[in-house]
Amino acid sequence: MRAVVALGAALCLVAARAAAEAPPGNTIGYVFTDLFWSVYQTDGAEECPQGFNDGPREQFAARFPAPEKLSVEETRLAMEAATWHPSGAPHDFAFHEIESTYAYGLDLDGESGPNDFRHPDGSPGIDNEIYRAVGCIIGFRGPDGVEYIFQSKAIKDEAYNRMMINLTGVDSLENDDSITVTVYRGRDELLTDATGEAIMPGGTQRVDRRWGESLIRHTRGRIEDGVLITEPIDGLVIPWQNLQVPSVQRIRGARFELRLGQDGAEGLLAGYADVDTFYYQLIRNDSTHHLANGQISAISLYKALRRLADAYPDPETGEHTAISTALDVRMTRVHIVDEADDGRDDPGGSAFPVSGR
Amino acid sequence: MSKVTRRRFLRGVLNGGAVTVGLPLLNCFLNENGSALASGMPVPQRFGTWSWGLGMSEPVFVPKRTGRGFDLPEEIAALAPVQQHINLYTNFHVFRDDAPNLCHHSGWVVLRSGTAPMSRENRPGETLDVTIARKLGNATRFRSLSATATGDVRDSFSYEGGNSVNAPEWSPLRFYERLFGAGFQDPNAGSFTPDPKVMVRKSVLSAVREDAKALEKNLGAEDRARLDQYFTGLRDLERRFDLQLTRPEPREACVVVDPPPQLPAGLDADLVSRRHRMLGELMLMAVACDQTRVFNMFYASAFSATTRPGYDKPHHTATHEEAVDPALGYQPNTSWFTRRAMEEWAWFVEAMASFREGDGTLLDNTFVYATTDQSYAKIHAIEGIPMFSAGSAGGRVRTGLHLDGGGTPGCRLGLTAQRLMGVDIDSWGTKSNTTASEIGEILV
């Protein structure tokens, strides 16, 4: 027993030393493997005491009790039109927002107001109004909500949505008061185990300089007790592909808070999602069939997003265009390779690694 | 016995192209043990596949006990009458390595081809029924036959290559006409008269072939290769003509049935069941009449749209939209669809067991491989995808067993099936689906 304890202590010491050591070339790269809107959930009773929201199927049945007496144009097409040309104006259907005081996320504005949540660890001032809007929609909840399932699956299945971060100037993964963080789009499939489900560290990702050039972002950050905290990035664009439909998400004032490890990183990506981009990503990626699977009434959700939007007011109308949010993010360590240093693929140029391992 | 055989032989020789034998089909066409045809040829082995859609509700599908006498949870309770004829395989995996998890596609493609597809359009390799048909299907009129109870010609888990899907029969009446219409030679008919049209076509074909062979000496390598390809096609045609010009061996279980009625289109579960049973009876009669030795029966598709009277969501939609009943621990309507599939699987196995053949049944001389596309369809899971087999392949397979695969490749069953059918392979599958390990527990 004593030997086991001694061995455990020795391993902890080794791990601590590894974290404290600088990565090779003072650089380390990670690729996104999971990214989804952060939802604090119990069995629903705490945060959704009114129950879960109805979807298109339920709303259709309530709105058209005798659809056979109406034309397709008056029924199905009318609902499709309302989905694709949404309005923020109120309508007749009740919409259940989150009623819990708890949410995951970050304090984006440095203030603690009446609309803010409290983190389950007790921290006040959490800004996450997307959670307030989607938290009582089955499709956004794990473990089998349709959005939850497809989004996690899409990152593993597709290369379009390959995103990664590269940390440079890293003296220690435990504490470093100043590092550079670069966001890239990658070009390659993820390295998996045989099941295709577990992403293995040590894969290589080439930087996409052709289609991903405009997605590259730089910011500064610091590492405190193994947690990376970055400064905001204004205008982070995330390629988002789901059900084979390419799309994007735009996050303003985006920042990472990630626990770093030798093999991966895990934490939050928080900021303000552009409301229209969020909405059109959803309905482009999901037909009414998939929305119905998750009981997601796009029509009702758009009204909630408009109602709850809390940042970046339109200079002319004053209406908020963005809504606070947080995404759960998991990453796996990769070797990031930039194939050319002139910003373009150059077969004749010399390839050089961006991140060591 | 010898007298009967000699009469048939003499008449055949004397009359050349037209043979007449006034004999009913009797057990005396078989050897003393009923295990071989009287000619000494063994009773032919058959291979079949059966497909159902959208997996299972694991809590009420997977038995608690393995081995013989396993329990039958409620979702597979319908299998009780045929439990002694089947094996159930659970906790076998399909591996996709670097391939995406293509919803309702990856699972069945791996189990049928041994390879994870890279895209929805991608159909790697060929399905194992095609491989087996090359081995078993050369002595019958049809190398293999496929039929689908969905009524949709696109529903098939059998393909020769990416762009060559074996289209199934979808209409019972059309299937009947194909089987028992022009070209059908009743193996038990009292008289046998070769079709003069076939004789003419064969004779023309032979002449063409002779001409083509004469050309061969004057051609370059590339053209000779083309000609060889051409000959391969000709040989296949000739083989089929030969079969039609040869009196078939009598088949005890073969009875030419009446044409079935035309069925309406639709996917109501009762209608699908009727279509399945009509097509199934025809398929089994085609096997019993030795029209084919390889068959594919398709009960429901991967995106099964079978409907339940009084319930608004078809099967596939139900798997995703229906909530898990917290008290039951599964999706009740989704489970209803799977139960209907199991009823049809039981019917199919029982039907095979009802065809007498020598001292056993058609099922005794067959190995049926039954697969689906997902394990838990709600989340498109493919790990632990369930499989069945039925039949003892001429006494070489133990039945009545539930086997836990322990996370090993599901391709082990496909490998076992191919070896049982005489396909000479060391291993089957690609990447992590590769296996050289049969499921030895079922082998006698």
Q: Are residues B118 and B72 in the same domain?
A: yes
Range of the domain at B242: 193-246
So what's the pLDDT on residue A322?
98
B101 touches chain A (CB under 8 A): yes
Q: What angle do CA B422, B427, B428 make, to 5 degrees?
A: 90
A156 touches chain B (CB under 8 A): yes
Q: Are residues B201 and B168 in the same domain?
A: no
Q: Does position A10 have pLDDT exceeding 80, yes or no? A: no
Q: Are residues B240 and B274 in the same domain?
A: no
> Is B265 part of a structural domain of the chain?
yes
Q: Does position A235 have pLDDT exceeding 70, yes or no? A: yes
- A194–chain B nearest CA distance, Å: 4
- Between A11 and A202, residue with greater pLDDT: A202
> How large a percentage of chain B has pLDDT more than 90?
63
Q: Are residues B265 and B123 in the same domain?
A: yes
For every residue of A117-130, DSSP letters joined together read BB-TTS---BB-HH
Q: Quick one: pLDDT band at residue A92, thresholds 50, 70, 90?
A: confident
Nearest CA in chain A to B102: A157
Q: Are residues B273 and B304 in the same domain?
A: yes
Q: Are residues B200 and B85 in the same domain?
A: no
For every residue of B79-117, DSSP letters joined together read GGGGGGGEEEEES-B---TTS---TTTHHHHHHHHSS--
Q: What would the mean pLDDT of B164-181 be, rounded to a whole number?
A: 91
Structural domain ending residue among the three candidates B224, B246, B268: B246
- B414–chain A nearest CA distance, Å: 19
The closest of B393, B385, B434 to B53, measured between CA atoms, is B385
Q: Does position B190 have pLDDT exceeding 60, yes or no? A: yes
Token couple for A309 = 């939007």
So what's the pLDDT on residue A345?
43
A183 beta partners:
A165, A217
Nearest CA in chain B to A157: B100
Domain count, chain B: 2
Q: B322 CB contacts (<8 Å, ≥6 apart)?
A: B313, B331, B332, B333, B334
> Is B12 part of a structural domain of the chain?
no
Nearest CA in chain A to B380: A149
B193, B196, B202, B205: CA torsion to nearest 10: -170
Q: Are residues B154 and B223 in the same domain?
A: no
Contact B321 A293 (CB under 8 A): yes
Asked if the peptide bond before residue A143 counts as cis, ω within 30 degrees of 0, the response is yes
Structural domain ending residue among the three candidates B203, B223, B246: B246
B379: nearest CB among A149, A194, A289 = A149
Q: Chain A residues with CB inside 8 Å of B102's CB?
A: 157
CATH of the domain at B139: 3.40.720.10
- Out of A277-291, B2-16, B243-257, the most confident range is A277-291
A149 touches chain B (CB under 8 A): yes
The DSSP secondary-structure symbol of B378 reads G
Q: Quick one: pLDDT band at residue B243, thresholds 50, 70, 90?
A: confident
Structural domain ending residue among the three candidates B225, B246, B267: B246
Q: Are residues B180 and B198 in the same domain?
A: no
So what's the pLDDT on residue A6?
55
Mutant choice from A197, A241, A295 vs B, greatest count of B C-beta within 10 A = A197
So what's the pLDDT on residue B126?
95
Q: Chain A residues with CB inside 8 Å of B100's CB?
A: 156-158, 196
- Between A86 and A355, residue with greater pLDDT: A86
A159 touches chain B (CB under 8 A): no
> Is B395 part of a structural domain of the chain?
yes
B325 touches chain A (CB under 8 A): no
Assess contact for A107 and A125: CB atoms under 8 A: yes
Rounded to 5 degrees, φ, ψ at B265 are -75, 160
> Is B239 part of a structural domain of the chain?
yes
Q: Chain B residues with CB inside 8 Å of A156's CB?
A: 100-101
> Is B284 part of a structural domain of the chain?
yes
pTM over 0.90: no
Beta strand spans in B207-328 (E)? 294-298
Q: Does position A48 have pLDDT exceeding 50, yes or no? A: yes
A313 touches chain B (CB under 8 A): no
What does DSSP say about strands B360-361 and B356-357: parallel, antiparallel, or unpaired? antiparallel
Q: Chain B residues with CB inside 8 Å of A153's CB?
A: 101, 380
Assess contact for B154 and B194: CB atoms under 8 A: no
Q: Are residues B119 and B77 in the same domain?
A: yes
Q: Are residues B291 and B367 in the same domain?
A: yes
Q: Are residues B129 and B74 in the same domain?
A: yes
- Out of B177-191, B223-237, B256-270, the most confident range is B256-270
The tens digit of pLDDT for each residue in A251-268 reads 999 999 999 999 999 999
Q: Does position B1 have pLDDT exceeding 60, yes or no? A: no
Q: Are residues B326 and B370 in the same domain?
A: yes
Helices A76-84, A298-308: inter-axial angle, 10-degree rounding: 30
B320: nearest CB among A153, A196, A293 = A293
Q: A208 CB contacts (<8 Å, ≥6 apart)?
A: A162, A184, A185, A186, A187, A215
Assess contact for B74 and B81: CB atoms under 8 A: no
Contact A195 B100 (CB under 8 A): no
Mutant choice from B378, B379, B432 vs A, greatest count of A C-beta within 10 A = B379
> Is B198 part of a structural domain of the chain?
yes
Contact A144 B95 (CB under 8 A): no
> Is B417 part of a structural domain of the chain?
yes
The tens digit of pLDDT for each residue in B201-221 reads 666 666 666 666 677 777 777
Q: Does position A138 have pLDDT exceeding 60, yes or no? A: yes
> Is B380 part of a structural domain of the chain?
yes
- CA–CA distance, B434 with B306 (Å, rounded to integer): 34
